[in-house]
Structure 1
Amino acid sequence: MSNKNYTLIFVLFLGITSCSKIEMKLPENPEESMREFVIQISQYAKQKKPNFIIIPQNGIELAYTEYNSASGFSQEFNNAIDGFGIEALFYDGYELPIYDRLTMLQKFSENKRVMVSDYLSDDTLFEDAIQKNNREGFLSFPRMSFNYDYTHIPTIVQNENSEDILNLKDAQNYLYLINASNFSTKQELITNLANTNFDVILIDLFFHGRPLTQEDLQKIKVKENGGKRLVISYLNIGSAEKYRYYFNNNWNINDPHWLVKPYKGYENEIFVKYWSIEWHSIIYGNDNSYLKKIIDAGFDGAYLDNVKSYHYLFSDNF
């Protein structure tokens, strides 16, 4: 082999090694990396479908330029999203103390919707949870003691109405149902959803491993009383789920390198390097990406879970 060929191979090796180091390097600002990730997801989705709704869940700090500060919006981030989902704001089995994030949510809700999912271990707290959220102008979905995993459709719809819901600001209530294990067939799920008057429905793209179709979505997008509603798909952007179409059963922690940490309490999920190019390509940017499948199915938006994975990754000696 000529010296020229040896040189070429060495240069290629250095290039690959260099790229690997860049990819493996931890972000200097974990929050900013997640903020940028959400913005990129939004830009891709809205390019494909201009009115597509993006709702991050938890991590309201990303909406601000300074942590725990209600002064100074991150303008690009806020322009990219249409609302914010929050779990356990007032209740997480028991009543929670008021944290700084309430102040941040109050400021944020002046222009956009806040959607709160409190967990109630005592069902008698239902009305109090509703009142606390109504007082702030937040949409409320109190999970009763039997509904910790978002498996049930409540019989009570708060602020029920027959209005057409054309954007998130119009909504007066919502349903959070991302676990369809209580339904034996897709038709049973669709029928039960169609026979409700929730303004917004959060569901999974997949039913028993198969994606919902545009025809399925059209049946769900009309409330029982005839009004139009929004149907939003769940999308986990902070951890890989072992039961998803993209997951290789041979994968494990650090193999591939962007699978980095077990998700305590969720044995079928692994925290990811959310800044990884490989992970980004799974989530958005190409025809086989998760987000493109959601858009193709006819969903009105995506509900981004584990946005706050930056906290869990870097708070425990990652």
Structure 2
Amino acid sequence: MTTRNPFLSAAALACLLTASSCSKDLSLTEKNHQVIAGKTQLQVVNYRQEMRNFIQEISAWAKQQQNGFLIVAQNSSELLTNDGDAAGTVNTAYIKALDGVGREELYYGYDNSDDKPTPKADSDEWLAFCKVAASQHLRVLTTDYCFTPGKVANSYQLNQKNGFISFAASHRELDNIPAGAPFNENSNNINTLADARNFLYLINSGSFGSRTRFLDSLKATNYDVIVMDAFPESDTVHWDKSLITSLKTKKNGGKRIVLAYMSMGQAEQYRWYWKAAWVKNPPAWLETMDPYWKGNYYIRYWMPEWKAFIYGNSASYTQKLIDAGFDGAYLDPVDGSQHWEEKP
């Protein structure tokens, strides 16, 4: 017997409007004709609001299952305000669903080019949104992609000046632990994201050779927050809870937070939910492959069929994170809405 999910029902497909009543900004929407009750109607999807809705639903459901479960949304800073302008009015409902925001390439690694400085105009715009998040008491986690020592040092210094915690990733694949001590290393107990002074972003474990070596390498660090994948490399079964619990103590004895990376804005063909038949016969929510990331597919994230993989039931992605003992989820790619806004 199927139990009706109150969160999913509240997140049904975007409102159906007739062409004469449509007044939304179509640069942010998709128009589809559907036959409902024998009549053709126009479906209008507000991509940004649907992404906000999705994240708010994930947050509400997760926190209902586990009190204090953390939600951090990476990129798509424009979702923070109603009009997508840093000077605009904040979207209160969306802000309340978050505990932090992530921002890639704030200073380095622009347009997937490692060590490349981000143009000032883009950096300033993203910085303004990061400051909006901080003003709303959200912890800002920034990731710059750089390896030149001077740029690495500059990245940490600039982010610290702004009150953000940051990680300078020397590998775009996020598959290594930088040599040396973490920036702002400390032995404090990290009970909330506000306590954290640094973090490690490491979601690909294959380069470590074995699961034991990977876990031992993490245990031997003093990072305040670890962002990692919920699944061992090439596995469809999440990490055991006892192993994740063992990572929650820094080498120096201080307590730390462990977050799980969760792709909710794209489908990944190496995840447990993937069916090979979808390549030739895709479900309605599945679109084309992302040309920049092999095996990742754009999705119609507002559709209930996709949402059911992410939250709302015992087999969902979010429940797997909770079962594995993670302290929260690091959501990506939240900027999936941009794909639809820019789609011809």
Q: What TM-score does the superposition give when structure 2 sets the normalisation length?
A: 0.83
Alpha carbons of 1:27 and 1:182: their partners in 2 closer, same or farther (altered >3 Å)? farther
Among 70, 73, 95, the alignment partner of 1:53 is: 70
Q: Distance in 1 between matches of 2:106 and 2:308?
A: 32
1:222, distance to aligned residue in structure 2 (A): 0.4
Q: Distance in 1 between matches of 2:35 and 2:308?
A: 21
Deviations along 1:275-305, one digit per CA (max 9) or x if unpaired, are 0111000000000001100001110000000
Deviations along 1:168-218, one digit per CA (max 9) or x if unpaired, are 000000000001111222221111111100000000010030311111011
Percent of aligned pairs sharing the same letter: 35
Unaligned runs of 5+ in 2: 1-33, 110-114
Among 164, 172, 184, the alignment partner of 2:189 is: 164
1:49, distance to aligned residue in structure 2 (A): 0.8
1:254, distance to aligned residue in structure 2 (A): 6.5
Q: Which residue of structure 2 aligns with residue 116 of structure 1?
A: 142
The answer on 1:252 being equivalent to 2:279 is: yes
Q: Distance in 2 between matches of 1:70 and 1:56?
A: 20
Q: Distance in 1 between matches of 2:280 and 2:165?
A: 38
The answer on 1:276 being equivalent to 2:293 is: no
The answer on 1:127 being equivalent to 2:145 is: no
Deviations along 1:59-104, one digit per CA (max 9) or x if unpaired, are 1111111212333111111111000001101111321213322112
Q: Which residue of structure 1 aligns with residue 3 of structure 2?
A: none
State the number of aligned residues.
299
The answer on 1:95 being equivalent to 2:113 is: no
Q: Distance in 2 between matches of 1:284 and 1:109?
A: 27
1:124, distance to aligned residue in structure 2 (A): 3.0
C-alpha root-mean-square deviation of aligned residues, in Å? 2.1
Q: Matched residue of 1:65: which SS?
A: coil
Q: Distance in 1 between matches of 2:295 and 2:43?
A: 24
Q: Which residue of structure 1 aligns with residue 267 of structure 2?
A: 240
Q: Distance in 2 between matches of 1:69 and 1:304?
A: 21
Q: Which residue of structure 1 aligns with residue 6 of structure 2?
A: none
Deviations along 1:224-243, one digit per CA (max 9) or x if unpaired, are 00011000000001110000
Q: Which residue of structure 1 aligns with residue 92 of structure 2?
A: 75
Contact 1:271 1:313 in 2 (8 A): no
Amino acid of the residue matched to residue 283 of structure 2? P
1:17, distance to aligned residue in structure 2 (A): 5.9
Alpha carbons of 1:178 and 1:189: their partners in 2 closer, same or farther (altered >3 Å)? same
Contact 2:108 2:117 in 1 (8 A): yes
1:267, distance to aligned residue in structure 2 (A): 1.5
Amino acid of the residue matched to residue 174 of structure 1? F
Q: Which residue of structure 2 aligns with residue 154 of structure 1?
A: 178
Contact 1:34 1:310 in 2 (8 A): yes
Q: What does residue range 4-43 of structure 1 map to in structure 2 within 5 Å?
A: 18=36, 27-43=44-60
1:250, distance to aligned residue in structure 2 (A): 1.1
Q: Matched residue of 2:108: which SS?
A: strand
Q: Distance in 1 between matches of 2:124 and 2:250?
A: 36
Q: Which residue of structure 2 aligns with residue 190 of structure 1?
A: 215
Q: What TM-score does the superposition give when structure 1 sets the normalisation length?
A: 0.89
Contact 2:47 2:340 in 1 (8 A): no
Q: What does residue range 199-278 of structure 1 map to in structure 2 within 5 Å?
A: 199-208=224-233, 209=235, 210-252=237-279, 255-278=282-305
Q: Which residue of structure 1 aligns with residue 19 of structure 2?
A: none
Alpha carbons of 1:104 and 1:70: their partners in 2 closer, same or farther (altered >3 Å)? farther
Q: Distance in 2 between matches of 1:31 and 1:237?
A: 14
Q: Matched residue of 2:244: which SS?
A: helix
Q: Which residue of structure 1 aligns with residue 8 of structure 2?
A: none
Amino acid of the residue matched to residue 168 of structure 1? L
Contact 2:269 2:295 in 1 (8 A): yes
Q: Which residue of structure 1 aligns with residue 17 of structure 2?
A: none
Deviations along 1:6-28, one digit per CA (max 9) or x if unpaired, are xxxxxxxxxx9639x99x97643
Amino acid of the residue matched to residue 268 of structure 2? E
Deviations along 1:105-161, one digit per CA (max 9) or x if unpaired, are 1121131211000111534311111111011011110112xx111000113301111
Contact 1:94 1:121 in 2 (8 A): no
Q: Distance in 2 between matches of 1:26 and 1:309?
A: 19
Unaligned runs of 5+ in 1: 1-15
Q: Distance in 2 between matches of 1:139 and 1:242?
A: 32
Alpha carbons of 1:75 and 1:187: their partners in 2 closer, same or farther (altered >3 Å)? same
Deviations along 1:250-289, one digit per CA (max 9) or x if unpaired, are 1127611111122121111100000011100000000000
Q: Distance in 1 between matches of 2:73 and 2:44?
A: 20
Contact 1:56 1:83 in 2 (8 A): yes
Contact 2:86 2:132 in 1 (8 A): no
